[in-house]
Chains A and B, each alone.
Chain A
Amino acid sequence: MNFLINLKSKWMCILLICFTIPMCTFAQGEEDDLLALLGEQEVTDYTYATFKANRIINLHSVENTAKGVLDIKISHRFGFINGGLYELFGLDQASIRIGADYGINDRLMVGFGRSSFEKTYDGFAKVKLLRQSKGVKTMPITASILASTAIKTVEFQDPDRENYFSSRLYYVFQGLIGRKFNESLSLQISPTIVHRNLVKTISESNDVYCIAAGGRIKLNKRTSFNAEYIYVLPDQLAPGFRNSLSIGFDIETGGHVFQLHFSNSTSMIEKGFITETIGNWFDGDIHFGFNVSRVFTVN
């Protein structure tokens, strides 16, 4: 009988040991990583800085000006570099746009500007609809829409004709779909419609459809290489107008972003660089230009 009890206790012992050891080791395992006890944090990781600025070069990027931030932009396009030394490779002439962008909230930004090219005023609103993210919420792309109006104030070519104010107006609607593929590569595609109230000849369309594409490759933390191309669907523009192609670099220094680029477009607003580009890259009709952006946190 005694032997039996002993045997029982022995089994109990073994059983207990069997239970205790794994618990001990379990407790030991936890010791090393206490935070694992809390489980993984469930967060949505939103992609930021798909592009350094809210423009790729001429095109709007999927970036918005942050809430309460005023972004003053001064942009220049010099003359064609094929002007040679006589024109100091275009530096003797400059087309300028002075503008300001403001973030009303993190999804809505507005901006306006005035271009010396055709003395044009422009205003726009850009709304971010989708934000690229991973984690709890997964979204492969960032998507925005842009609506812009331009008023050309240069004197009418034919003052004797009955001219209407509405003839000065241009409208642009654009969808922006962008993705930051990795730290260095971001791409964007933007289907766009430009509506022109008045065109010169009947063969030109009032509504011009095009597909714009752009991207950037980060060269280092503060510099990126950018490129954009706008394909205007055929038979909408008068002969002589070309698709816009621009390449350039973004250089970031604290509160400034300097964008230096080469483009065959003279205008810096949608209706201009999409429908009124005349430069031919192969003939050296290339503008050197820059955008300087300085941000101020207003509130």
Chain B
Amino acid sequence: MKKILSSLVIVLVLVINLQAQKYFSKTGEISFHSSTPIEDIEAISNSASTVFDLESGKIQWSVLIKSFEFEKALMQEHFNENYMESSKYPKGFFKGMIKDHENIDLTKDGSYTAQVNGTLEIHGKSKQIENTAIFMVENGLISATCDFKIFVADFDIEIPSVVKQNIAKELEIKIKTNYELLDKS
């Protein structure tokens, strides 16, 4: 009976510990870049939210589409109004898993490369993606970066023929953030 009791206590402690294994950021940086011979278009958001759980390997992101800032105000308006329809689809999401998350030791300084796969949801359309992310620990500070590409057409984003030459079919996306320990108290 004592054994059961102690093992239960261990489970309880583990559960509490598990919750302490989560890291978050509310200032995640997401930028995208469209490059064509005619025009380069770039936008950046500095207010993406993200949480990852090292124990289970789960990682999630969300970003307000309206938080993307462009160099040209009119581009930003068209991005929200015509392409992303941000009042209908206010957020973009990623929900996925870090493969081999056991290999990441956040207590030790270093750079850890990990495959991340999951579902990217933009403009109400979902797509499975898999990319390489880098988790870095430096003096106890945890950061992560990930660069990948997506096709605009995969997310049902319509580009009218007049501006087809100006907007790339494939966008480069760069993600960068510092993570903090998620304190449950």
* A and B together in one complex: yes
Q: What is the interface of chain A, defined by CB distance below 8 A to chain B? A: 6, 9-10, 12-13, 16-17, 19-20, 23-24, 27, 30-31, 33-35, 37-38, 41, 43, 45, 48-49, 66-69, 103, 183, 221-222, 252-255, 295, 297
Bound together, the chains give a CA A209 to CA B82 distance in angstroms of 38
Contact status A254-B166, CB under 8 Å: yes
What is the CB-to-nearest-CB distance from A252 to chain B, in angstroms, rounded to a whole number? 8
Bound together, the chains give a CA A35 to CA B91 distance in angstroms of 13
The residue of chain A having its C-beta at the shortest distance from the C-beta of B161 within the complex is A253
- By a CB distance below 8 angstroms, the chain A residues around B18 are 27
From A9, A30, A43, A255, B74 is in contact (CB under 8 Å) with A255
From A31, A103, A255, B56 is in contact (CB under 8 Å) with A31
From B11, B60, B71, A20 is in contact (CB under 8 Å) with B11
Q: Can you give 20 contacting A-B residue pairs, CB < 8 Å?
A: A9-B2, A16-B5, A17-B8, A20-B12, A23-B12, A27-B18, A34-B53, A37-B22, A37-B184, A38-B51, A41-B64, A43-B64, A45-B90, A69-B73, A103-B73, A183-B87, A221-B81, A255-B74, A295-B74, A297-B71
- By a CB distance below 8 angstroms, the chain A residues around B26 are 38, 41
From B1, B15, B51, B62, A9 is in contact (CB under 8 Å) with B1
Q: In the complex, given contacts A13-B8, A23-B15, A41-B26, what are 20 additional A-B residue pairs having Cβ atoms less than 8 angstroms apart? A: A6-B1, A16-B9, A16-B12, A20-B15, A23-B12, A23-B16, A27-B19, A30-B19, A35-B60, A38-B51, A41-B47, A41-B64, A43-B47, A49-B77, A66-B74, A68-B73, A221-B81, A222-B160, A253-B162, A297-B72
Contacts A66-B73, A295-B74 known; A12 to B5 CB distance under 8 Å?
A: yes
What is the CB-to-nearest-CB distance from B32 to chain A, in angstroms, rounded to a whole number? 19
Q: What is the interface of chain B, defined by CB distance below 8 A to chain A? A: 1-2, 4-5, 8-9, 11-12, 15-16, 18-19, 22, 24, 26, 47, 49-53, 56, 58-62, 64, 66-67, 71-74, 77-78, 80-82, 87-88, 90, 158, 160, 162-163, 166, 182, 184
Contact status B1-A10, CB under 8 Å: yes
From A9, A35, A253, B49 is in contact (CB under 8 Å) with A35
Bound together, the chains give a CA A68 to CA B70 distance in angstroms of 13
Bound together, the chains give a CA A270 to CA B73 distance in angstroms of 27
| Most B C-beta atoms less than 10 A away, residue of A13, A16, A41, A43 | A41
The residue of chain A having its C-beta at the shortest distance from the C-beta of B26 within the complex is A38
The residue of chain B having its C-beta at the shortest distance from the C-beta of A66 within the complex is B73
Q: Which 7 A-B pairs have the closest CB atoms?
A: A66-B73, A34-B51, A9-B1, A16-B8, A297-B72, A34-B60, A49-B81
Contact status B49-A13, CB under 8 Å: no
Contact status B66-A254, CB under 8 Å: no
Contacts A16-B5, A16-B12 known; A33 to B87 CB distance under 8 Å?
A: no
What is the CB-to-nearest-CB distance from B135 to chain A, in angstroms, rounded to a whole number? 16
- By a CB distance below 8 angstroms, the chain A residues around B19 are 27, 30
The residue of chain B having its C-beta at the shortest distance from the C-beta of A64 within the complex is B73
The residue of chain B having its C-beta at the shortest distance from the C-beta of A20 within the complex is B12
Bound together, the chains give a CA A255 to CA B38 distance in angstroms of 14
Contact status A37-B81, CB under 8 Å: no
From A38, A254, A255, B24 is in contact (CB under 8 Å) with A38
